[in-house]
Amino acid sequence: MQILDFIQSLIPNLPCLLRTETGPVLSIVSLPFNPLRLACLIVWIYLCLYLVQCFQFSPLVPQKYRPAAYIISLFAGPILLLILLIADTLKKSSQSKTGIFKILKQQLQNTFANMRSRRAERRRDDSTIRLLDSSGRSIDEIYGHSGKKRKDSHILDLTEQLIADALDRRASDILIDPEDEATYTVRLRIDGVLRTVKKLKTDTSKAIVNSIKAVSGMDISEKRRPQDGAFIAKRAGTTASFRVASAGVLSGEKLSIRLLNQEACTFTLADVGLTKKQRSIIKSAIKKPSGMVLLCGPTGSGKTTTMYAMLNEIDRFTRNVITVEDPIESMLPETSQIEINPKADITFAKTLRSILRQDPDVICIGEIRDEETAEIALRASQTGHLVLATIHCDSNATALVRLLDLGVSPLLLSSGLSLLVSQRLLRRLCNHCKKPAQLSQNRIRKFERKGIDYTNIFDAAGCRHCDKTGYLGRTAVCDLMVITDQLKVDIAGNKAFIAEARNEVGKKDSSNLSRQALKKVISGITTLEELKRVVG
């Protein structure tokens, strides 16, 4: 009876409710829109969204039919849904003898609760991180999830949290070291600077170290001998690769975890931070069919990223590009990348010799460490190959001396080299919190004497965007040395030139880099403190 009463009460009112021209709704209040139609439209949109969400998560609808299901749901779905809802409500009401509105209210409550739990599930999926070994086994599988006690799962949670935290904070390295007998410190290298983020008890730390060693394919029982391994972390559709090295130290075991910069292949020379003039010099050097471009700088000075940026300038469809790296940081399309592995006797020198037989146009060498590699690379650069390589040293002059000291002949060096690039990375100021610099009178006088505009110099502050450091990201400063004909003659036989270069070894003379860095300071990209920290 109740249902019939309800429908009957609706039907007589319905025509006048929906009548737009002469009906009571619009005749009483004259609004520029029909509120009833607007309400219907909003309900319609909500129902459409709900249906689309249902299809998105429904395992019954195959992926390829989902777009069609969305379109159908937008036109016919809400009507179908309303009919089903009314029919279901009527059925339940007649069965349980409960009022229609009560059942309707209950059903709506259930629907909203469902939607909320789905959303929460999706959020959890996005934030969950999974650590996998090189064969794709998860850390839980390695540990045998079911048979272990609760303590293990707590440690695995802590390990995953540690890695997720490092990824969130854009860390390039994670260092876990014993501080003393009772505590371990966890430090992150963010934008090239180490920060202590956690102190943990020795027992917990040892368990975390073991779980990382296990997922990296290392021997857990071996605590003294240095070992290395690798693992990957998957989160919300992204993958990060890590390299792990362990070593026994005085009060325990030390672990260094390095995050490979997989975005390195997306950088261009402009992204790296080079000036227009520097970019054009580099571009003309890498356009040539032969010669060697040598990148110099200490560890973590961004040499590899600049090398990838150079490779991005090269047309890799028309030129056969082969790289030899240790390790491969980033996958570069249309390139043959080879990773060296000294344990399996795959060294830089041996790999270089073999790839020379594969008719390469461009050879990229991760790092020149010995005479053999240097010689093969320089000879290749003279015989119709463009060679890009990096060497670990402070400046361009030091690189020349280093190569001569390795045993390379001055003649070979002078004829092979075409460009030297030495590089440093400066932290960029966070744009959300940088504040005008407080300069001393002395410093202002110095700037005025040199005619430098100091009005755009900023200091670091710190906010939630930059993890309270005041800096966010980095930019490169470079010093270029083009090997001109005169320089070739000097390198090949001028003893005074070589002696002068030798004098520079060990000195912190990086006046060119300082000049480049100062330009970045006065244009508000970095700070005077950062200039002092990096280039002195």
Name the site residues for Zn ion (rule: CB under 5 A).
Answer: 430, 432-433, 463, 465-466
Computed on alpha carbons and rounded to an integer, the radius of gyration of the chain in Å comes to 33
DSSP letter for 392, please. Answer: -
Least separation in angstroms between CB 426 and Zn ion: 16
Instruction: Please list, in sequence order, all residues whose beta carbon lies within 8 angstroms of the beta carbon of residue 434, skipping any fewer than 6 positions away.
Output: 458, 459, 460, 461, 470, 524
Least separation in angstroms between CB 465 and Zn ion: 5
3-state secondary structure labels for all residues of 209-252: HHHHHHHCCCCCCCCCCCEEEEEEEEECCEEEEEEEEEEEECCE
Least separation in angstroms between CB 436 and Zn ion: 15
**Residue at token pair 């020795």:** 202
Euclidean distance between CA atoms 381 and 383, whole angstroms? 6
| Identity of the amino acid at 58 | S
Q: Which is nearer to Zn ion, 343 or 464 (CB)?
A: 464
Q: Which is nearer to Zn ion, 294 or 430 (CB)?
A: 430
**Residue at token pair 């430098």:** 452
Cα-based torsion angle of the residue sequence 329, 330, 332, 337 in order, rounded to the nearest 10 degrees: 30
Of the candidates 198, 179, 203, 200, the one whose C-alpha atom is nearest the C-alpha of residue 187 is 198
Euclidean distance between CA atoms 14 and 208, whole angstroms? 68
* Ramachandran assignment for 120, one of left (phi > 0), alpha (psi -120 to 50 degrees), beta (any other): alpha
The string of DSSP codes covering 25-67 is HHHHS--SS-HHHHHHHHHHHHHHHHHHHHHHH-TTS-GGGHH
Q: Which is nearer to Zn ion, 354 or 456 (CB)?
A: 456
Least separation in angstroms between CB 469 and Zn ion: 7
Q: Which is nearer to Zn ion, 452 or 461 (CB)?
A: 461
Q: Which is nearer to Zn ion, 169 or 353 (CB)?
A: 169
Q: Which is nearer to Zn ion, 206 or 434 (CB)?
A: 434
Tally of residues, the chain? 536
Residue nearest to Zn ion (CB): 430
Q: Which is nearer to Zn ion, 321 or 466 (CB)?
A: 466
Q: Which is nearer to Zn ion, 38 or 193 (CB)?
A: 193
Decide: 61 and 52 in contact? Cβ < 8 Å: no
Least separation in angstroms between CB 470 and Zn ion: 6
Q: Which is nearer to Zn ion, 311 or 426 (CB)?
A: 426
Of the candidates 312, 315, 410, 311, the one whose C-alpha atom is nearest the C-alpha of residue 324 is 311
Q: Which is nearer to Zn ion, 122 or 465 (CB)?
A: 465
Q: Which is nearer to Zn ion, 430 or 480 (CB)?
A: 430
Q: List the alpha helices (DSSP H) in 383-409.
A: 396-406
The string of DSSP codes covering 302-345 is SHHHHHHHHHHHS-TTTS-EEEEESS--S--TT-EEEE-BGGGT
Euclidean distance between CA atoms 502 and 496, whole angstroms? 10
Least separation in angstroms between CB 431 and Zn ion: 8
- C-alpha separations of 430 from 155, 427, 465 in Å: 35, 9, 8
Least separation in angstroms between CB 141 and Zn ion: 40
Least separation in angstroms between CB 433 and Zn ion: 3
| Identity of the amino acid at 5 | D
Decide: 524 and 429 in contact? Cβ < 8 Å: yes
Least separation in angstroms between CB 458 and Zn ion: 11
CB neighbourhood size of 127 (10 A): 11
Least separation in angstroms between CB 155 and Zn ion: 34
| Identity of the amino acid at 324 | V
Q: Which is nearer to Zn ion, 367 or 530 (CB)?
A: 530
CB neighbourhood size of 138 (10 A): 15
Q: Which is nearer to Zn ion, 103 or 430 (CB)?
A: 430
Least separation in angstroms between CB 459 and Zn ion: 12
Least separation in angstroms between CB 349 and Zn ion: 46
**Residue at token pair 């450091």:** 469
Tell me if residue 184 falls in helix, strand or coil. Answer: strand
